[in-house]
Chains A and B, each alone.
Chain A
Amino acid sequence: MTMRIAKRLLLAAAGLAVAVSLASASWAKELRILAWQGYADDDWVQEFKGQCGCDVSVVFIGTDDEIWAKIKGSEGKDFDLFAVNTAQLQRYIDAGLTTPIDLDKIPNQKHTLPRFQDLSKVTGVMRDGKVHSVPYAFDSIGIIYDPKKVSSPPDSMTVLWDPQYKGKVLDYDNGEHNFTITALTMGIADPYKLTSEQMDAAKKKLIDLKHNILSFYTTADEAVQLWQNNDVAVMFANYGQQQVKMMKDAGLNIVYVNPKEGAIAWLDTWALTSGVRDKDLAESWINFVLQKKIGEQLSQRTGFGNTVAPFPSAGENDKLVWLEFVEDPTKRADLWNEIKAAP
């Protein structure tokens, strides 16, 4: 008797297991996202789930190196798509960790802001005629100034060198970016790949800049504190809109502007991994988040520019120079030290 009951129970359990696995098979439609905080908010994920009838799992990352560790570590198999900036994206393409995207599956791409419509004009997202990622969020590194102290609104980074503001300028303490902005003011076409002559010329200019500034800063809140306690007129705003928001929250009267020679800007994009399971599903997510409503929310919540709805971080005609890896980071850092040690 007991044996028979046990047998029946076993059979029932086996049946249940089969049923469960069948059910989960029908749920197998799952999207695995790796993204920065603020790029896949819960309300959007819930809405997308309802539309696709699929499951969505989101893993948030904190650093560029963490993305690399997760994507490279699993050879792209642990995630279907990930958020990555255009400078970083290059090493993923080099390592074959991306899957080219079919833009026909992303109709909303046609309704993005003008500068993002023709992806061949967005440095870094295409290679060999194939689209490797779709722009999603960005921010520029421009100028912040005090309208009471700076009489005529500046339109170029050269304002940092203006002797009128001697001792009233803050500069971000980073050799790479300082060489890039200086190269842009010198009209050099590719500020990320400088020749040694160009570097020497930029170095001379940066020594001049040093003598015009009050202090360097490293973090965004440090800049706020410096601005509050000193007579500062203008600053190289490395943290862009994030910094603008912090300063306005602190009650400071400031204006943000992108320089006419071009502002350095980072651009985060969506890319598909080489291990993407359901390519259509991943592409439909990209299409989903390229809605105007979501773009607006993204900007409101993070302060970053989005690629579909206009946002004050960059006017339509502002020239943005998408961030790239520089020719020799060590050399720029060494020269930056020489600039600081120079009399």
Chain B
Amino acid sequence: MEGRVADPPLPNAMSQREIADGEERAGRAWADALVGAAAWALPTAFILVPLLLFLMLGFFEVQGTDIAYHPTLKNYARFFRDPGLLSTFLKTCWLGLKVAAITVVLGYPVAYLLASLGGRTKYVVAMFFAVPLLMSYIIKIYAIRSILGGNGFLNRILLHLGVIEEPWTFLIFNLNAVMLTLAILLVPFAILPIFVALERIPRNLLEASADLGAPPLQTFLKIILPLSLQGVVIGASFTFVLAIGDFVTPQMVGGIEGFTFGRVIYSQFGFGNNWPFGAALSVILLLPVLAAIVIADRFGRARYAT
């Protein structure tokens, strides 16, 4: 290169270099395109295509034991005509909202505590709160069941201490048990985004607030809470989405009330053997999920704008 620079500049030397640059740029563009294609290929193959296939499956129907591949809207019509399904759907969404609220209320103080810890400690402690996520889901539900059961751990302790005379049976096998169990299982998903949001708040804002004479409560309400709301909304949408799709917890701790939309979908792929209907119901379940994601997204951007 240096030798070339020393050469007397020929009239067409520049254009040659431009051509060379152009070629190089084209080459780089090709490489970029290749990397881009590779980056898109996996999500396309493993997320987009299956999702589209699923969407399509919802427009077919089962005849006998086989799927008949001619398009129909029957599955969707059936959802809107069946009062049982519709009410189960609404019940499930309401359950998800309650779970989201509980996880946020439980998760916020924990995240606040984590964020207030100094240096490395907070990441170590945060790790501890993430550890339950590594355990098998089923084991956790079994454990909760043996704690809350009629002859369970909690009842035995309370009986032993003389707090109660008869075992409490309202703890398990109802919708509240599903709500509580889901909240316990999902709370780490609320803690982590709130923790991240709290951590992002610049220290100097808090110091400024203190310098200007704001008491801690005012600082919390006017600065910390608004600036961490993004994390709250993200955490809530996480737990909402996970809660409405769950089909194991309701079955295991919900007793006769534990029939949620996830159970309906699950049954279509097992005993029901009606995959198209199951696919259509999954697409319907996708609507509140998308709504939650959109809300979380909007909220996040709005916060940044101010």
Contact = CB atoms under 8 A, between A and B. Distances in A.
Interface of A: 167, 173-176, 210-211, 213-216, 218, 222, 225-226, 228-231, 329-330, 332-334, 336-338, 340-342
Nearest to B148: A229
Nearest to B152: A229
Interface of B: 62, 84-85, 87-88, 142, 145-146, 149-152, 167, 169, 172-173, 251-252, 254-256, 258-259, 263-264, 267-268, 270-274
Contacts of A173: 251
Given A229-B145, A231-B150, A216 B251 contact: yes
Nearest to A177: B271
Given A215-B173, A225-B145, A330-B273, A340 B255 contact: no
Chain A interface, >50% SS class: helix
Given A329-B271, A330-B274, A333-B273, A228 B256 contact: no
27 contacts: A173-B251, A174-B271, A175-B271, A210-B256, A211-B256, A214-B173, A215-B173, A215-B254, A215-B256, A228-B149, A229-B145, A229-B149, A229-B151, A230-B151, A230-B152, A231-B169, A329-B272, A333-B268, A333-B274, A334-B272, A337-B84, A337-B259, A337-B267, A337-B272, A338-B84, A340-B256, A341-B84
List the 3 shortest-distance A-B pairs measured between CB atoms, nearest first: A229-B149, A333-B272, A341-B84
Contact of A225 (B146, B259, B263, B264): B146
Contact of A337 (B251, B258, B264): B264
Contacts of A174: 271
Nearest to B263: A340
A89 B120 CA distance: 66
Contacts, number: 81
A218 B256 contact: no
B178 to A, nearest CB: 12
Given A173-B251, A213-B256, A214-B255, A330 B173 contact: no
B153 to A, nearest CB: 8
A218 B251 contact: yes
Nearest to A340: B259
Contacts of A229: 145-146, 149-152
B253 to A, nearest CB: 8
Contact of A330 (B62, B142, B255): B62
A167 B252 CA distance: 15
Contacts of A340: 256, 259, 263
Contact of B271 (A230, A336, A338): A336
B37 to A, nearest CB: 39
B69 to A, nearest CB: 18
B149 A329 contact: no
A341 B263 CA distance: 10
A56 to B, nearest CB: 36
A334 B84 CA distance: 11
A214 B252 CA distance: 11
Residue from B84, B88, B268 having most chain A Cβ neighbours under 10 A: B84
A226 B88 CA distance: 25
Given A229-B145, A229-B146, A341-B259, A333 B169 contact: no
A230 B272 contact: no
B71 to A, nearest CB: 20
A342 B87 CA distance: 10
A215 B252 CA distance: 8
B256 A231 contact: no
